[in-house]
Every structure is written in structure tokens, then in C-alpha cells.
Chain A
Amino acid sequence: MSVLISVENLGKAFRSYPNARQRIKSWLGLPTHNVQDVWVLRHLNFEVYSGEAVGLIGENGAGKSTLLKMIAGTLAPTEGQIQLFGEVRAILELGMGFNGEFTGRENARHGLSMMGLSAEEAEALLPEVEAFAEVGEYFDRPLRTYSSGMQMRVTFAVATARRPQVLIVDEALAVGDAYFQHKSFEKIREMQQAGTTLLIVSHDRGAIQRICDRVILLENGQISREGEPEAIMDYYNAMLANKGNERHSVESEMREDGRVATTSGTGEAEITTVELRDADEGTPVEVATVGQTLELVVTVAIHDPVEELVIGYVIKDRLRQDVFGTNTHYLKAVRSDLKPGQTLNYRFRFPCHLGEGSYSFSVAAHADDTHVRQNYHWRDLACTFEVVNAQQDRFLGVAWLPPALSIEQNHGDSQ
């Protein structure tokens, strides 16, 4: 695979001058005083290979959009360099500098010209743009009369009218209705399959995991981690959950099967073992059958005084989408005033109403009904299991919701 984007020691600073005189001095090339550089990004190094899909995640202000803008060429780097070996197209924060007074068609035409197309090429692509945008007769009305979703449709249709070698998408997928979100997602997928390299900023975990081969986590203007989407997303979520807590730690560990398990927490209470068993026989279960009654056994050791303890778990599918989650707060079984040295055994009994596939448990010990405020211990991929269908009728999906079927035939209806 060849390198398409190469970022070397990249940095962006927003420079502030104490007064107008210092700025004018800088124009004349004279020495300046008290000029302050606020670094938004610094010392970034990475490469993107052709055909790859890379996700950029990070909190607001981490520098994701600034990075994308520099790669797209609308912002100039302060230091370092970006080398591009292909045509780049970007959909940044809604819009391509469209003019509200012009119709969708006029803006689309102008937008196509901005990609360096000739009049004939632009004209030839217009019908496709119109068809994809699906804004109906609004296509010939001024853009100022559009809803933001409709503007997004036209923008997206223009930006993707020709398949670029690199497509940069900044949060654009979050705008628009479910139908168009789905449609644009499909379009991005299609381009990816045709060989387009993707660079995507999104807060939608599902979208990142479905599309990306690799995820880069930006923290305070630097790359703090990069790697497999599932592992980085877990780490990121754990990091978010425990912001502002100094005692808190986040660790990632490579499991035997190659997946990375993330654990985090402040450590007052520790989830020592997590085991899935057959509820009747008490034997460990790695492969469950649809309809089997299971028991999740969670053992918690208390190391420091704990005022309030909630144990929760989420069953996730292969793509780490939540299938089902609950906790002892919801189940009205919160324990309080626990002393060091105590050990608690939680047994969650449930029928396996899951479809075929592979699932995992994320288990957490925390203080509130959510793990955001005080997280003692959180284990992703604490336990994994397969579900197979041995006894039930065939069905689709992740949930087993067996219907009782009855068919009535009315006699009077015939001919």
C-alpha cells in the first residue's frame, strides 16, 4: 500500500500579538515582542495509506477539525508539513462557502467549479447531484430558503459528485434526517470500496467502528493513542468517564484472542472475577444456546471505604453496540457503607434471548446510576461468549423474540 497522506512534525499555533504595532512589525520583518503562540496541535506524525479508513476522535477542542482543515488545505500549518499524494475533497462543518441568494443548482455548479472542473464536466455532473440531493423543486430555489438538512444534502451531493482519492468528512454525517444519513453513509462506503481513502471525524461510535480500519485519538493537540477502532474507542470512553479524577487510571491489555481489553477506575472497589455460568448446573459457559438460562457472576472486592456501590453490566455484540445493559441501581439493590476487606458476589440470572453471534460483557463498579461521576472499576471485554441456535426455529437479528403464530382464514372472502 502506498502512502497517500504523510504528516510530519505538524503543528498549528494561533498567534496573538499584544498590540497592533507588534503585528505591523511582523509584517515588515522586524523583531517583535510578547508574541504569544497558542498551540492547538503540535508534533503530529502519522501516515495514511491508500484505501485506508481512518477515524479521528477526541474531545471538543482536541484539534480534530484543525487537523482536518490543514489536510484539506484551508488552514496553513505553523510548522512541519503535510504531503498529499492524491486529490483531496473535504466536507467541513456544513457547506462549501455557498451563497444563500443563489439557487441550489447555481451553488452546485459553482461548487463543482471549485473542484477544478471545466464547464462541460460540471454540467454533466449536475443531474447526478440533483438526483442524489433529493431536494425536489427546491433545487431551483435560493439556498436561504433551505433547511439545514437540505443544505447538507446539496453540499454532500456536490462534494461526492466525483470520487476523490481522499475524502475528509467532519461531523457531516450527524446532520440531516435518518434517511439521508443512511444514504450518505452508503455513499461513503461505496467510495471506500472503490478505493477512496477516508479520514473521518465523528462522535458516533457505531459509524467509526463500521467504517474505520484505524482510529487516532487526539488529546490536547497530540496523538495519544492510535490503533484498532474497538480498542481505541473503549479507551476513549473510559477516559471520558473519569475525567478530572486524579486517582483514576486507564489500562489496555492485549487478550489471547488479539482483542484489546480496557480497564479503568479509581480502585476503591475491584471487580475480581466475572464469569458466565449455566444457571441450573453452575458450569462455566463459553457457548450458550438460544433460550438457555444463564447466570453472570461478578465478584467484587472492597479495598477502601465505599459509601455507595452499584454494579452494572452491558452485553455488547461483535461491533460493540449495546444490546442490553442494566445495573443494581435500576434493579434497586444499591449497597452502601462498605468496609475494606469485604467481598461481594453478584449473581445476575437471565434467559439467553439473544440471536446467534459473539457477545461480550462490560462490567462496571461505580457510585451512581451512571459511571460518569465516580467510577471504581470498569472492565470492557470482561467476559465473552458465543450464542448458537441448537433448538429453536431459525431467526434473524440479535434478539430472540419468538412469536406465537396464528393464521385465520375467513370463509366468506373467496371470489
Chain B
Amino acid sequence: MTDRLFAVARYWWSYRYFVRSAIRNDLKARYARSKLGLLWALVQPLAMVLIYTLILSHLMAAKLPATSTVYAYPIYLMSGMLAWTLFSESLARGLGIFVEQGELIKKVAFPRALLPIIAFGSASINGLALLSMMLVVFLFLGHWPTLHSLWVPAMFVLTVWFGLSIGLLLGLMNVFFRDINQAVPVILQFLFWLTPIVYAVPMLPVEYHGYFDWNPVAKLTAAFQDVILYQGNPAEWHLLMIAGIALLFTALSAGLYLRVRHELADHL
């Protein structure tokens, strides 16, 4: 048994260059024939931050809890946007990976279990680019990192995993029902506005506050806002809960994969 596990592990390990090459290709393919390449991945969230800051800054700043910086609202916005972008990008990666790599799946035999790893890698690199870009902006605004910022790497990985685990389950279903690919952006748009990113919970009437307890993404944005803007600790209990959900979805994805793997290539 252990021999067998060892053999499988060695087999996977022999594909490490493939994983690296696939991640690089995945990033390159998305920005093929564009001059700015990866920069485009940053333009979208930053443009949104800029727009909301210009429009809502005065309205919102007064309503955020007291902070040490005058740029509270842009920083609040960017913290939430970072969490949201990591989540939605990872979800999209997981959702698309089977169909996008369909040709490969149909024509080449390689360990299929590497696909989520490739998706994780490509989503992480995109996310790291965004994170470093935002870090530059924070420094520029005079908002320096503190010891609490050490939470960021853990939250980063957690968010990517969370988004990816849901994305993979939807991605497997999407191979058979392509409607899912169409429905997800619509649902995400609703979810974006149901999550306190542009606004803050205290701005809403108290009777609605309870609803946010049902939105796990709100827990993630809150964690990023707590650490980055308020320079405190996130609610560890909430992060554990997110990890639990991610674990559940990972298990569901794996379970569904085992059930449909005989048919998967036939539908690509």
C-alpha cells in the first residue's frame, strides 16, 4: 500500500515541469497578442476602485469607523476588492479549467489530478500581481504594513482555495451542463453587491445586518478589511469556517470527479 502511494507520488512528481509549463502557458494564453499582458488583470479591479473612490469617497468616509488614515475609504475598498477578486478569479479558473483544457484531456494522458494544481497556480500568480500592485498603492498613500499583515499570506491562500473548490465543482458540472458557465457571472454580480465591499455593514439598517452572517464571502472581505485597514486580527473563527466550507467543496468535487471521470472526456 505504501509502495503504491509512493509510486503514485513519484509519478506525479515527474510531472512537475509540466505543471510549471502549464501554469505559464495558461497565463500567457490569456494575454496572447496583447502588449500589456498581465497588467490587464490589474486594470479591472483598480479601475473599479478608482471609480468608486471618485464617486463615493465623501459620502462613505464619514460613515466608516474611526481609523488612523484619511484615505480610509479607498483602502477599505481595495481590501474588499482584493478579497473579492481573489475569490471570483479562482472560482472562474476552477469553472473553466476542464473545458479550456478539453483538447489536452482528450488527446494526452497525464495525471488529471494536476489540473486543480495548475488552476491554483495560475490563480495565485494573478492574485500575487494584484496584491503587489495594491501594496504599492498603500505605501503611496502612506499606509504601512504592520505585524498584523502577516495574516495576509494565510488569508490569500484560503481565499484562492475557497474560490477554487467551488469553481471546480461547478466546472465539473459545466462539462455536462454548459448553462452553468453562463449563469455564474450573473450570480457573482448579485453576490458582489450582497457583500460589503463598496459599502460597509454599519451603513445599513440594523435589521439587515443578520443576513451577512449567511454570506461566507462577506467573512473573507471582512477579514481583509480588518487586517489591512483596521490593522487588527481577523476573526479566526470565521476563517476556520471558510476553511471548513472549502474542505467540503473540495471533497464534493473529488467525489463528483470519481463518479463522472468515465464520461468526462466524452463530453469535452
Contact = CB atoms under 8 A, between A and B. Distances in A.
B266 interface: yes
Interface in B250-268: 256, 259-266
Q: Sort A-B residue pairs by CB-CB distance and give the 8 closest, nearest first.
A: A73-B109, A97-B104, A101-B32, A97-B103, A113-B18, A113-B21, A116-B14, A76-B262
A93 B107 contact: yes
Interface of B: 11, 14-18, 20-22, 25, 28-29, 32-33, 101, 103-110, 176-177, 256, 259-266
Contacts of B104: 96-97, 114
A122 B24 CA distance: 16
Contacts of A114: 18, 104, 108, 110
Interface of B is mostly: helix
A29 B259 CA distance: 9
A74 B107 contact: yes
Given A23-B176, A102-B28, A116-B15, A97 B107 contact: yes
B32 A26 contact: no
A118 B17 contact: yes
Contacts of A90: 107-109
B259 A78 contact: no
A14, A109, A113, A118 — most chain B CB neighbours (10 Å): A113
A183 interface: no
A76 B261 contact: yes
B25 A102 contact: yes
Nearest to A23: B176
Interface residues of A, number: 35
Contacts of A106: 25
A75 B105 CA distance: 9
B108 A74 contact: yes
Interface string A37-80: 00000000000000000000000000000000100111111100
A110 B259 contact: no
A74 B17 contact: no
Contacts of B106: 69, 74, 97
Contacts of B176: 23
B45 to A, nearest CB: 25
A92 B107 contact: yes
A78 B108 contact: no
B131 to A, nearest CB: 27
A396 interface: no
Contacts of B259: 26-27, 29
A110 B16 CA distance: 12
Given A27-B256, A92-B107, A106-B25, 19 more contacts: A14-B266, A27-B260, A29-B259, A69-B106, A73-B109, A76-B261, A76-B262, A77-B262, A78-B262, A95-B107, A96-B108, A97-B101, A97-B105, A99-B29, A110-B25, A114-B18, A114-B108, A118-B14, A119-B20
9 contacts: A27-B259, A73-B109, A74-B106, A96-B108, A99-B25, A102-B28, A114-B18, A119-B17, A122-B17
A114 to B, nearest CB: 5
Given A109-B21, A110-B22, A119-B17, A88 B109 contact: yes
Contact of B18 (A23, A93, A101, A116): A116
B21 A97 contact: no
A23 to B, nearest CB: 6
A333 interface: no
Interface of A: 14-15, 20, 23, 26-27, 29, 69, 72-78, 88, 90, 92-93, 95-97, 99, 101-102, 106, 109-110, 113-114, 116-119, 122
A113 B25 CA distance: 12
A146 to B, nearest CB: 16
Given A116-B15, A119-B17, A96 B107 contact: yes
Contacts of A75: 265-266
Contacts of B16: 118
A414 to B, nearest CB: 65
A110 B21 contact: yes
Contacts of A77: 262
B121 to A, nearest CB: 14
B257 to A, nearest CB: 11
A199 to B, nearest CB: 14
Contacts of B25: 99, 102, 106, 110
Nearest to A109: B21
Contacts of A109: 21
Contacts of B262: 76-78
Contacts of B261: 76
Contacts of B110: 114, 116
Nearest to B103: A97
Nearest to B260: A27
B109 A113 contact: no
Contacts of A92: 107
A119 B22 CA distance: 12
B26 to A, nearest CB: 10
A307 to B, nearest CB: 48
Contacts of B264: 76
A80 B165 CA distance: 32
Nearest to A119: B17
A15 B107 contact: no
Contacts of B32: 101-102
A117 B20 CA distance: 12
Contacts of B17: 113, 117-119, 122
Contacts of B15: 113, 116
Contacts of A26: 259
B96 to A, nearest CB: 15
A120 to B, nearest CB: 9
A78 B21 CA distance: 32
Contacts of B14: 116, 118
B97 to A, nearest CB: 13
A113 to B, nearest CB: 4
Contacts of A116: 11, 14-15, 18, 110
A118 B17 CA distance: 5
